[in-house]
Amino acid sequence: MTIEPREPGAGGRESESSTTTTPDPRLPTPEFSDFYLPENRLALVAGVRALAREKLAPRAAHYDETATFPYANFRDLFDAGLLGAAIPRDAGGLGLGPYRGDIFTLWMLTKEIARADLSLARCWEGHVNSLVLIDGMGTDEQKRRWFDGVLTRGETWVAWSGEPQARAPGEKTRFGTYAERVDGGWRLDGTKAFATSAGGARWAILLVNTAGPGGARHASGDVDHLLLMACDLTDPSVSIDGSWWDPIGMRATVSHAVRFENTFIPDANLLGYPGQYLLESWQTCFAPQYGASFLGAATAAYDYAIESIRAQKKGDDPYVQHHVAKMSMNLETGNLWLRHVATLWESGRSAEAQVAGNRVRHLLEHLSVETVDHCIRSCGARSLIKPSPVERIWRDLSLYVRHDNDDHVLATIGKAILGKSYDVSFYKP
């Protein structure tokens, strides 16, 4: 017997057979994360959710097919006042960030953008992460100069480290940069890989090792050789090799190879002190945000699955019900973990937050990949045929989760538990 929901205690005691309720389909389903947002941030996240649904998501297929930078999307983000999300309030931004008392809202913005387009979210991450670095490591003069460019001219930022030293089979390009100290700054030569937003961003924070190639992730030796250099990408000495980036997914990140030929970086554009990025473990601020992007893509797959299941009248299939239940629990688990890690950052428990960030990055990779798989299993092969967005989501997520080696991430978590030394930033074995 099906009954309408009613207030507790209304009427007599119900028999055990009369406790099944039918939800009112007119009532909107609350977003999981909205329960954990500060009251004064609900409208902000809701606005981004609407922008993503109405403008950003409809363009995703085009940018994927053409493998081009999402200029129109960044224009919309600028017009909505969102490019300054990680700029302090007293400088004209929204004041979000790990050391600004509100990182969860930033991760929820990232999740909503990834829900529309995971490639776009990766470009967005590069932008806001760069602003977090400028806020935390920059001089007052640098902050005034660079924040003004973001807020008044819509300048976009990105951070590039990639300099893998071992060539993949068939790969002809050699990656690595060489920095030479000259009067008033540094001269830079060489090539970086995985240069997200190449051709779209105006500025890039380059992670350069003055002892030789390798950047931050692939170099060895003393950490104080690592410098962060802000490079104006309109400099004619900077060129892009678009032939290198032809991946299965994340195509609109335009993560090309970028070449520097005698590029001058003035001392005024050096960010922080030598080795600061590694010594203060800044990379750990960003690991949970990768997870937020994974979760956004998984949420989009869940959205599609629910719509498809209802349209195809599959809701009475018990196995479909299993898939729906797993997807829903995965998403809620992911949001709860992000809220937990955010609380650690926001309460000043940064050492705990850094360790927990590795956990959430690992968990969200698996929860998100599993959720997309449940979507495909419940919706069938047609979910992998265009114009279904799941086809693109599956490709994008399959590539993006390889950003870090998850086996090394998990080993790092184990090392921390066992009291062994570990690399909290790049999970080196």
Residue 218 confidence (pLDDT): 73
Residues 6+ apart with CB under 8 A from 49: 31, 112, 115
What was the pLDDT predicted at 22? 58
Phi/psi of residue 148, each to 5°?
-60, -40
Q: Write down the pTM of the prediction.
A: 0.91
Q: Which residue type occupies 343? A: T
Q: In the prediction, which pLDDT does 12 show?
A: 39
Domain ranges of the chain: 32-156, 176-277, 279-418
Opening angle at CA 246, ends 376 and 294, nearest 5: 40
Q: What pLDDT tens digit does each residue of the chain (429 aa) get?
A: 333 333 333 333 333 444 555 555 444 455 777 888 989 999 999 999 999 999 999 999 999 999 999 999 999 999 999 999 999 999 999 999 999 999 999 999 999 999 999 999 999 999 999 999 999 999 999 999 999 999 999 999 999 998 888 788 887 788 999 999 999 999 999 999 999 999 999 999 999 999 888 777 777 778 889 999 999 999 999 999 999 899 999 999 999 999 999 999 999 999 999 999 999 999 999 999 999 999 999 999 999 999 999 999 999 999 999 999 999 999 999 999 999 999 999 999 999 999 999 999 999 999 999 999 999 999 999 999 999 999 999 999 999 999 899 999 999 999 999 999 988 888 888
Q: What is the pLDDT of residue 166?
A: 79
Distance CA 79, CA 82 (A): 8
CATH of 176-277, one of 1.10.357.10, 2.40.110.10, 3.90.700.10, 3.40.50.300: 2.40.110.10
Strands 238-241, 226-232: pairing kind: unpaired
The domain defined by 32-156 carries CATH number 1.10.540.10:
yes
Q: C-alpha distances in angstroms, 398 versus 108, 261, 297, 374? A: 21, 34, 11, 15
The reply to whether domains 32-156 and 176-277 share a CATH topology is no
279-418 classified as CATH 1.20.140.10: yes
Instruction: Provide the pLDDT for residue 19.
Output: 52
User: Which two three-digit tokens encode residue 229?
Assistant: 């250099």
Residue 369 has φ and ψ, to the nearest 5°, of -60, -40
Nearest to 344 by CA among 331, 358, 333: 358
